[in-house]
């Protein structure tokens, strides 16, 4: 049978492990969110650049 000290120690280590896991999960979610935002900004920049090129081509054609 476990002593009270052993039980407290196990509970603390479980909490530490859970806390570490939550921090890592939050960090992973943040990194993924930042990557998604960066990809979206790049996509918007490419669309804007494509629109600018097309507009310039139309102006030159006229």
Q: What is the pLDDT of residues 16-45, one digit of tens each?
A: 887 887 778 888 888 888 899 999 888 888
Which tokens go with 1?
A: 């049978």
Under 8 Å between Cβ of 10 and 2: yes
> To the nearest whole number, what is the mean pLDDT of the chain?
82
> What local confidence, expressed as pLDDT, does residue 53 receive?
83
CB atoms under 10 Å from CB of 11, counted, come to 10
> What local confidence, expressed as pLDDT, does residue 49 receive?
84
Query: What DSSP string runs through 11-27?
Result: HHHHHHHHHHHHHHHHH
Which tokens go with 2?
A: 């476990």
**Residues sharing a CB contact under 8 Å with residue 2, sequence separation 6 or more, in sequence order:** 10
């Amino acid at each position: 049978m476990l002593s009270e000290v052993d039980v407290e120690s196990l509970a603390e280590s479980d909490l530490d492990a859970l806390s570490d896991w939550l921090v890592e999960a939050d960090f992973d979610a943040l990194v993924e969110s930042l990557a998604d935002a960066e990809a979206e900004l790049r996509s918007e920049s490419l669309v804007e650049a494509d629109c600018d090129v097309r507009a310039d081509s139309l102006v030159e054609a006229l």
